[in-house]
Amino acid sequence: MRYDAVFFEERLRNHKLTVREVEVTTYWIMDYTYKEIADQLIISHYTVRAYIRSINRKLGVNSKASLILLLLNDGGPSVTGEELQTRTAVGCPHCQSG
């Protein structure tokens, strides 16, 4: 199975996040840097950092990996870290592989 931004956006909407938090989180999951996210959303990279801290606090996670696992396991079959390593994220600007 391949995951794209739409998949994660749909899962994020199940949580009490603002529209902007969903946008920041989606870019972050797709492996954009804080600066790239800031450029896309026309905000400061310091603001991006603040959003990420807030998102992690709201969702009870402390890393991007734990956030991704939380979202993958929301409303669907459980996915382990090992299974996640064998799956490819779609839409990542750094991981494009045909």
Q: Is the pLDDT of residue 32 over 60?
A: yes
Q: Is residue 50 part of a domain?
A: yes
Is residue 26 assigned to a domain?
A: yes
d(CA 6, CA 3): 8
- Residue 97 forms part of a structural domain: no
pLDDT-based confidence at 8, cuts 50/70/90?
confident
Q: How many domains does the chain have?
A: 1
Contact 23, 5 (CB under 8 A): no
* CATH code of residue 13: 1.10.10.10
- For residue 95, being part of any structural domain is answered with no
Query: Would 22 be classed as within a structural domain?
Result: yes
pLDDT digits (tens, 9 = 90+) for 65-98: 999 999 888 855 455 555 545 444 444 444 444 3
Report field, pTM of the whole predicted structure over 0.85:
no
Domain limits for position 79 = 5-85
Where are the alpha helices (H) located in 1-98, listed in sequence order?
5-12, 19-29, 34-41, 45-59, 64-73, 81-85
Is there a domain that residue 98 lies in? no
Q: Does any domain span residue 69? A: yes
Q: CA 42 to CA 94: how far, in whole Å?
A: 21
- Residue 52 one-letter amino acid: I
Q: What is the tens place of the pLDDT at every residue in 35-74?
A: 999 999 999 999 999 999 999 999 999 999 999 999 888 8
